[in-house]
Amino acid sequence: MRNKSLIIVLTVIVSAICLYFLSFSFVASRIQDKAEAYATDAQGNVDMAKQQAYLDSIWNEEVFLGMTYQEVKENELGLGLDLKGGMHVVLEVSPVEIIKSMSGNSKDPNFLKALERAKELQRNSQENFVTLFGQAFREVEPDGRLSRIFSNTANRGKISYESSNEEVIEVIEAEVEDAIGRSFNILRTRIDKFGVTQPNIQRLKGSGRIQIELPGVDNPDRVRKLLSGMANLEFWEVWSIQEFSPYFMQVGQYLDQQQAAGKLNLGTAAAPQKDALSAAAATTTDTTQDVLAQAAAGDTSALAATTPDTNKTAALDTTAQQGGVLANLFIPTQGGLMANVRDTAKINEIFSRPEVRSMLPPNMKFLWSVKPTAGEGNMQFVEFYAIKKGRDGKAPLGGDAINDARQDFDQQGRPEINMTMNATGSKKWARLTGENVGRQVAIVLDDYVYSAPVVQSEITGGNSSISGNFTIEEAQDLANILKAGKMPAPTRIVEEAVVGPSLGKEAINQGLISTIAGLVVVVIFMIGYYSRGGFIADLALVFNVFFILGILAQFGAALTLPGIAGIVLTLGMAVDANVLIFERMREEARKGLSMREVINKGYDKAFSTILDANVTTFLVGFILYFFGSGPVKGFAITLMIGIVTSFFTSVFISRLFVESTFRKAGKLSFSSVLSDNMFRNIKFDVMKYRKAAYAFSLGVIAFGFIAMYINGGPNLGVDFRGGRSYVVELDQAVPASEVRAALVDNFQGAGTEVKTFGASNRVKVITSWLADDESLEADNKVRAALDEGLAEYSNLTPEVLSSSKVGATMADDIQNTALIAILLALVGIFLYVMIRFRKWQFSLGGVVALLHDALMIIAVFSILDLFGISYEMDQVFIAAVLTIIGFSINDTVVIFDRVREYMNDNPRTKIKDLVNPALISTFSRTIITSLTLFLVVVILFFFGGEVLRGFSLAMIIGVLFGTYSSLFIATPIVVDTVKEEPKPVAAAATPVTRS
């Protein structure tokens, strides 16, 4: 074996890396167990608040290899929402509202018609909304100019009356993209403050959508309001520290008295170490040193940053020396206060008490800075601001006053932010800055202070610059924050899924059972069929699973239920390479070669076939990942990783074991009593039955589509047709038809489907009522209708375990991307096969067979639906279809490879005379691979849970028809389309089939 040392070194390195990243999961699990034990009382009840307090206390403590618990959690192999419970949301930034705002809410009839037309076009197009709006405007008003609508004060400097339509569209596109970026940053900050462990937020490329996953969320309504709310940007006056110190001293004395009397019931934080205090004060943010400089009318007179008088902290220093409650919670700094992040909840609780509020002025409220500051010992601190409310409780100035804000550089080349305001805002800004010269003005977004610069002089004209010790990124972020109030960019939830924790635990159990059962079946079969060789293949399989989990952890991916399905599927597909190698070895052994030659030729001859098969399957996985979303992405990631690791373990690691075993024992067996007696004297003529096979396939597909027509169309899932679905559990079984009858009137006669979901006492309710309305009001309306209908079964305590929503536009996009994914998979495979086999007929045969497999799955689903066995066609179903495409081309490529080999060995023999020998020589491999995968997906069907039931059924159908198409469709089509000239009889003998 060439490069043996390199393979050994690479295996050791990869194993060490995987072990390192998986160790974080073990450490995190051990700490979770300790927290649970700490919070468990004598009766076995777990105090969740106490458990969380324990975890919070060590959040920034070193727990493993110098890493904090926070870093360990960030690096562990996380669980997806379907295993852990939580909420998945896809939000869309509304471009319609942005365009309306840029137009100054124009009432121009053609403008409004163009917006409505663009909405219609969006349902059947992958183009972005702004491009469609431009097309729609040309339809409505061919000679119209967008500049007459958009050339206003809000767009001054960007759009003039002379601007062309293309230039206007470019500006609108830039504004929409900018709004999406701002929304993303705002949502990320909101989620960080929400307190969810391991949240995931990402922009979906090519769309104005943002995907958010929040594990463990138990209050979906709060999340919906949090995510859908408009950004609230405000400018507030700030109380100086000498102004609010007397009030703090009064509150501190009261708290000390309460603590002395044993009535505080709050718990006192340990006094911070002196060096930690110094570090926190030294590393405080520069917001108190920011400068708000006047830049109006060309006046760029510099005003130096000011440092507040340190004597202002004297009152609080006195309190600190007294060692009171507040002194232990707050850290005095130059010009302000800070607190440890861990103490913020305690401080909030103190200042929300009615008796404490009564000691404070009614126009005083408190806000925290948005970004923490690092101190020594992994401690983090945030600044505490006393905000001065106006007479009506509202901010003196809101974000709607801002026209624009951008990051720029001052005369010294330092980053700064330039801000312009509209006429109304300029007047309010002049009054606010004029009344607060020498004082701070807080820039607040969603009740968090982003900056609090010191005003140096009254600013008129509405043009201002904010400078300080900013990095470029910080300046850009603050500019985005200021622009958040410039124009409305509301977000709407277009897709949502809520999974309860009980369903998550159930999914974990089902996933473990199906994985272990699949592994056991494959292990037993391989040993039973290949004897010692099968045992070696099983060792490689164990390495394969270990590598998959380790690489998933390294990439920071979450393990989902479809991901587990991908691992189970990989178990079935991973043996394929070993089957190819072992079957090759057995062929070479029958020629009387030595075992050393058998091993070398077995691996060498199988290599190109294994490579081709894995590349085509990987291509399908990549397309799945690129176009899929949510669970499909999780499946695709696992599938791609599994393909790479299975190739490495089957081709290289298994060879190390094979050669090591042969070297030690001097012999090696790849046969057993079972395998010796199977597939002997196989004889069949595929070409003889090809027309019957064509007729059979066309008949089944035609019958399936007739059944689909009778059923009123395909049974599409919510993610393809739009709507809402709920999984409801009752105390005892209730017929699904009765539940539907109780609900249909509440859903006002809209399409409603109710079916048993897994357990007999569990049903899935699907309704298309208000599917086109994606607002929170519509969500609440549908949920209220569901609750009202279920009230009939109140004695059975119905409980909604999970829910999901897909908006109509999102459903259209998912349908389109699913279709594109299938077409791209077919095109990609066509091109790859043509390049590898140098004949387009091979590509045609392979692609026709794949299309046949996909249509067969759809047809059989429709036929089963006709007979009352109903499974939805959703994104996971498409994942199954694409996986079968990958599996089927894998099998087909193996046969094609043998045909190509025989053609090269017998150049004068007609291809039709080579087909049967090639099919017979690869028949054992075809059946064994299909059988192992079939057994695995059958196990997945019975033990994988209801969520994967449709996926597993599609895989079962696909494996059966994929094997059939490789034999009776793909190769015969190659023969039927190849035109051959008559050739003289070859001098060489035709290939000998094995007996």
Report DSSP letters for 42-63, one per residue: TTS-B-HHHHHHHHHHTTTSEE
Taking the CA of residue 454 as centre, how many other CA atoms within 13 Å lie in the half-sphere pointing to its CB? Answer: 20
- CA 110 – CA 386 distance, rounded (Å): 50
User: In the prediction, which pLDDT does 855 show?
Assistant: 93
Residue 129 contacts residue 136 (beta carbons within 8 Å): no
- Dihedral of alpha carbons 737, 738, 742, 745, sign: positive
Please spell the DSSP secondary structure of 835-884, one letter per residue: HHHS-HHHHHHHHHHHHHHHHHHHHHHHHHHHTT----B-HHHHHHHHHH
User: In the prediction, which pLDDT does 377 show?
Assistant: 61
Q: Residue 463: what are its φ and ψ, rounded to 5°?
A: -105, 125
> One-letter amino acid identity for 420?
T
User: In the prediction, which pLDDT does 942 show?
Assistant: 86
- CA 452 – CA 450 distance, rounded (Å): 7
User: In the prediction, which pLDDT does 657 show?
Assistant: 87
User: In the prediction, which pLDDT does 289 show?
Assistant: 35
Q: Residue for token digits 């994967």?
A: 948
Q: Residue 313: what are its φ and ψ, rounded to 5°?
A: -90, 5
> One-letter amino acid identity for 118?
A
User: In the prediction, which pLDDT does 305 show?
Assistant: 33
992: DSSP letter: P
- Dihedral of alpha carbons 812, 818, 822, 823, sign: positive
**Cα separations (Å) of 296 from 319, 401, 418?**
44, 16, 11
Hey, what domains does the chain have and what are their CATH numbers? 4-76 (no CATH), 90-227 (no CATH), 231-487 (no CATH), 500-710+812-977 (1.20.1640.10), 723-806 (3.30.70.3400)
Q: Residue for token digits 């047709």?
A: 721
Joined tokens for residue 795:
């004695």
Q: pLDDT of 467-491, one tens digit each?
A: 777 788 778 878 877 876 655 567 7
Residue 43 contacts residue 49 (beta carbons within 8 Å): no
Specify the 3-state DSSP secondary structure of 79: strand
- Dihedral of alpha carbons 72, 78, 83, 85, sign: positive
- CA 17 – CA 983 distance, rounded (Å): 58
Joined tokens for residue 193:
């403050």
Q: Residue for token digits 């010009």?
A: 335
Nearest to 632 by CA among 568, 730, 561, 557: 561
Residue 354 contacts residue 376 (beta carbons within 8 Å): no
Question: b/e for 557-571, b at 16 or more Cβ within 10 A?
Answer: bbbbbbbbbbbbbbb
Nearest to 557 by CA among 657, 502, 626, 636: 636
User: In the prediction, which pLDDT does 307 show?
Assistant: 33
DSSP H helices, 666-717, are 673-676, 690-710
**Which residue positions in the chain have pLDDT lower than 70?**
1-2, 124, 126, 193-198, 205-207, 218, 229-230, 266-323, 334-335, 375-378, 484-489, 501-504, 572, 628-631, 674, 677, 680, 808-810, 980-995
User: In the prediction, which pLDDT does 271 show?
Assistant: 37
**Cα separations (Å) of 942 from 340, 812, 869, 920, 938?**
52, 32, 15, 33, 6
Spatial neighbors of 567 by CB under 8 A, at least 6 apart, are 515, 545, 548, 638, 642
- First-to-final CA distance of the chain: 30
Burial class (CB in 10 A: 0-12, 13-18, 19+), 813: buried
Joined tokens for residue 372:
């923490």
Q: Residue 907: what are its φ and ψ, rounded to 5°?
A: -65, -20
The counts of H helices and E strands in the chain are 36, 26
Residue 76 contacts residue 197 (beta carbons within 8 Å): no
This prediction has a pTM of 0.69
- CA 175 – CA 177 distance, rounded (Å): 5
Residue 232 contacts residue 250 (beta carbons within 8 Å): no
Residue 190 contacts residue 227 (beta carbons within 8 Å): yes
**Cα separations (Å) of 620 from 440, 568, 887, 929?**
58, 17, 10, 19
- CA 646 – CA 576 distance, rounded (Å): 9
- CA 266 – CA 982 distance, rounded (Å): 96
Q: Which residues pair with 445 in a beta bridge?
A: 233, 448
- CA 845 – CA 866 distance, rounded (Å): 31
User: In the prediction, which pLDDT does 739 show?
Assistant: 87
Joined tokens for residue 187:
């949502």
Please spell the DSSP secondary structure of 299-325, one letter per residue: -----------GGGGHHHHHHHHHT-H
User: In the prediction, which pLDDT does 23 show?
Assistant: 92
- CA 271 – CA 276 distance, rounded (Å): 10
User: In the prediction, which pLDDT does 323 show?
Assistant: 53
For the CA atoms of 126, 129, 132, 133, what is the dihedral angle to 10 degrees? 170
Q: Residue for token digits 């500006």?
A: 171
- CA 958 – CA 944 distance, rounded (Å): 18
Residues in the chain: 995
Question: ∠ CA 902-905-910 to the nearest 5 degrees?
Answer: 60
Residue 965 contacts residue 939 (beta carbons within 8 Å): no
Spatial neighbors of 353 by CB under 8 A, at least 6 apart, are none
- CA 447 – CA 629 distance, rounded (Å): 33
- Dihedral of alpha carbons 247, 250, 254, 255, sign: positive
Burial class (CB in 10 A: 0-12, 13-18, 19+), 249: middle
User: In the prediction, which pLDDT does 987 show?
Assistant: 46
- CA 92 – CA 803 distance, rounded (Å): 19
User: In the prediction, which pLDDT does 504 show?
Assistant: 67
Spatial neighbors of 358 by CB under 8 A, at least 6 apart, are none
